[in-house]
Chains A and B, each alone.
Chain A
């Protein structure tokens, strides 16, 4: 631990922390755009500039490590003027279409522009113009809204280990791109979307379905696999319109393509909502996938009690006729560890066979 002083407050902070971390942990606000707590510091947006006694020039709080006796001032007329100017410059090269932007309400840039009361008029000039859109199915990349903070690049590299994107070109022409600027062809985990502070990266499936603030947010657990990532379902008119995950969850906000973008099944008309019991004999019937066959001709709806009774009786029947080893159980990766434990216990102890396996092992 070292002793430092931020804005007149004497603090004890861990020796390896940055000024920004020290401030944050002590509820001292320093504006940031390119910083993300889980990613390597970048120092590109320059909003977190602070004055440190003994330093000739302001330094970025996100990249500067604290030192014993360090005296930091996070806000002064000079510092605030620099932050204002930086925001003016960012907005001078930003499409002002917050009206229709998916990020409105959850946009870090918008929030800071509001805080500082910045409009872009003072330094209006040429703007980047990228006409072609990325043709991938999941991630909308609106590079004109990109502020080159590099968070997506680092999430892709440091979190996902994919490195599908990187900085390309330089100066005013710099942009985040894939190799040879092909359409994104990656795992589509969407970590980049999650860390993007502006509307540059959004979900294609979300488009015009409802922005944060207009939806009901329900915290739940991702049903896809046993890992059980915490997710937040954004619901509008009883339909999930977007899935996010908060940074303070155990999965730190990271999800996979299924968890983040594979939520349409919830309101799919094809989804099974009640148990079905086969009515038609197995042999001689064309399979369900064939054209013209409706599920009603093969199955009938049943209650859970009836369905479970049927299963129990059939298991007993088979066990009695052919022995327990005629039965096998296959469990799902969507179940939790506990559920899988119970399932194998059921197969071994109740049914009496070791024929039990799990889809994730295949």
Chain B
């Protein structure tokens, strides 16, 4: 019997950063030296997805032997010899280097649909995708279905737009199909711009053909013959893989004229974004594809009626499209069996922040926040307490620690004042200041406002100014009310989704952490000790040894004192940089 051992080494960016290449080489050399016929693969060259989400434990190595898999974490080149000797030759895994038990819980609660083939198929080889059943759904649809069947299937599956707004995909397709016009377009929105979200990049880098297939099926359903992928230029690997995938699809005649010898033809072109977050908004994206400034247009008319070059246009997010072939393959009922009544299927989240297991996760809609944080995420990092979970990035809001029973789906999150959004999920602990978080997100949206409408252009600027002054100890009585009124106004009066959601982080943080804002304004104190200008440094005389380390570190000459005698900080000169706090070895600098 041939020994079919496969060694997979994580070679995603995180893996490479952790020294994946050296580990890979070490395996190749060691195995060759010992004359062992085992295959060493670059697992996960498709980035985070490939390494199955747990980048924090790179370099991860998976050894498959006779159908069973064993994973090692934090592998270094000098560990390779022992792994080969004991595990591959001896048959006994090196116990102390194996992944710990949280590694399993990371996967147990996940359901992989859109990420299922990421890391399994080779994103640069179309045959690998075809071997996994790829393009079969397209063939079936094109040869044996009518467009209405496709729309019905997608509608019944209950899938909703994964880009943020959660509009039912089947309905969108139906509206575009019914819209009059012989020229229609399908656009794949890959302009993923939320800080802390990278699922679209992961899908394109890991399984680009699933996106192409989703576009093909969508185009067939609405009657489009031309599609565009609008993708950020900041994702060079994704762009490269997508280009290659499109080229291969053309070679196999999955794209172009008379696909599968049917009447249907479809072309895809890539358009590179030039760096504007607002272009994730449908109408701004259309303007950008047309080569103009990405300024949103008023809706109605909606793109399904008048979109790109005034033609009916469907714009779907990457994750949405990547789900489509799997829904066709396994049927709407299978897809709809996951999730809640109104939110079907799975959603990919980028779990980051103060959490043990960071990375991309795919979970059924309706899973509780607690399950994600404690089981998949493995709990909070260090000995800190969970404070809140921020979802939906700059368009979303916070869910406080007390609400871990909350179901993660469109309705429940909206009710709690946040959104599913594109899937960013940032875990915050007691060291995070909620005023500062609100300021951070407003800073982002303010810089990305296109400037077309007044509420967003000036409103976000004023929100930022008020939040800034609160974090700097200049907050005034009435500022909370000012923030609330302005936030409500910007939300309702803004032209596009960017402005309409920009105040969400402010409103949601005010809803759950109002007293933190009040403390900043009234007591000029930051409970999380984040807002620099509100901190007061002083030296605790009883602990001070008079070593002078703080004095040396102080860039503002604010510390004085004789050798071996307690030092003092002159508060008028202190710039609150914290250098003394870091420099003191005796914990005699108090920060308050």
Contacts and interface: CB of A to CB of B under 8 A. Distances in A.
Touch A–B, Cβ below 8 Å: yes
Interface of A: 41-46, 49, 57-60, 63-65, 78, 81-82, 85-86, 89-90, 92-93, 122-123, 125-126, 147-148, 167, 169-174
A346 B492 CA distance: 69
B454 A172 contact: no
Contact of B465 (A46, A126, A169, A170): A126
Contact of B453 (A44, A122, A169, A172): A44
A43 B451 contact: no
A174 B492 contact: no
B209 to A, nearest CB: 35
Interface stretch (B371-379, B481-489, B545-553): B481-489
Contact of B293 (A44, A78, A81, A167): A167
A253 B449 CA distance: 34
Contact of A170 (B451, B459, B461): B451
Contacts of A46: 453-455, 493-495
A123 B462 contact: yes
B300 A89 contact: no
B364 to A, nearest CB: 28
What are the 3 closest A-B residue pairs judged by CB atoms, nearest first?
A174-B451, A43-B298, A63-B298
Contacts of A59: 298, 300
B492 A86 contact: no
A44 B452 contact: yes
A147 B461 contact: no
Nearest to B452: A44
Contacts of B461: 93, 125-126, 171-172
Contacts of B204: none
A65 B298 CA distance: 11
Contact of B454 (A45, A167, A173): A45
B457 interface: yes
B492 A82 contact: yes
B132 interface: no
Contacts of A147: 454
Nearest to A125: B465
B458 interface: yes
B486 A85 contact: yes
Nearest to A60: B298
A171 B448 contact: yes
A170 B493 CA distance: 19
Contact of A172 (B458, B492, B493, B494): B458
B439 to A, nearest CB: 14
Given A65-B300, A123-B462, A172-B451, A148 B486 contact: no
A123 B486 contact: yes
A123 B461 CA distance: 10
Describe B's contact surface by its main secondary structure.
helix
Interface in B177-208: none
Interface in B289-322: 293, 295, 297-298, 300-301
B493 A86 contact: yes
16 contacts: A42-B452, A43-B297, A46-B493, A49-B493, A59-B298, A59-B300, A60-B298, A60-B495, A89-B455, A89-B462, A90-B458, A92-B458, A126-B465, A170-B448, A171-B448, A172-B458
A171 B450 contact: yes
B276 interface: yes
B112 to A, nearest CB: 34
A93 B458 contact: yes
Contacts of A43: 297-298, 453, 495
A173 B451 CA distance: 8
A85 B485 contact: yes
Interface in B273-300: 276, 278, 293, 295, 297-298, 300
Given A86-B493, A92-B458, A45 B451 contact: no
B446 interface: yes
Nearest to B499: A46
A167 B452 CA distance: 9
A160 B89 CA distance: 82
A81 B459 CA distance: 14
Interface in B191-234: none
A57 B492 contact: yes
Interface in B457-514: 457-462, 465, 482, 485-486, 489, 492-495, 500
B32 interface: no
Contacts of A63: 298, 300
Nearest to A33: B454
B447 interface: yes
Contact of A171 (B298, B446, B486): B446
Nearest to B295: A167
B451 A86 contact: no
Given A41-B298, A60-B298, A63-B298, A86 B454 contact: yes
A42 B495 CA distance: 10
Given A58-B493, A170-B451, A64 B300 contact: yes
Contacts of A81: 489
Nearest to B495: A43
A82 B455 CA distance: 9
Contacts of B452: 42, 44, 148, 174
A85 B503 CA distance: 15
A122 B482 contact: yes
Contacts of B465: 125-126
Given A170-B276, A170-B449, A44 B454 contact: yes
B451 A171 contact: yes
B447 A171 contact: yes
Contacts of A169: 451
B507 to A, nearest CB: 15
A60 B493 CA distance: 9
Given A64-B300, A167-B295, A174 B453 contact: no
B174 to A, nearest CB: 19
Nearest to A149: B454
A60 B454 CA distance: 13
Nearest to B449: A171
A119 B448 CA distance: 28
Contact of B457 (A49, A64, A171): A171
A225 to B, nearest CB: 36
Task: Give the one of B276, B297, B298 with max A CB within 10 A.
Answer: B298
A59 B494 CA distance: 10
B455 A58 contact: no
Nearest to B453: A44
A46 B455 CA distance: 8
Interface in B414-466: 446-455, 457-462, 465
A42 B347 CA distance: 36
A93 B461 CA distance: 10
A21 to B, nearest CB: 15
A350 B399 CA distance: 94
A82 B493 contact: yes
B546 to A, nearest CB: 45
Given A170-B293, A171-B457, A173-B451, 12 more contacts: A46-B495, A82-B493, A85-B455, A89-B458, A89-B459, A122-B482, A148-B451, A167-B293, A170-B451, A171-B447, A171-B461, A172-B457
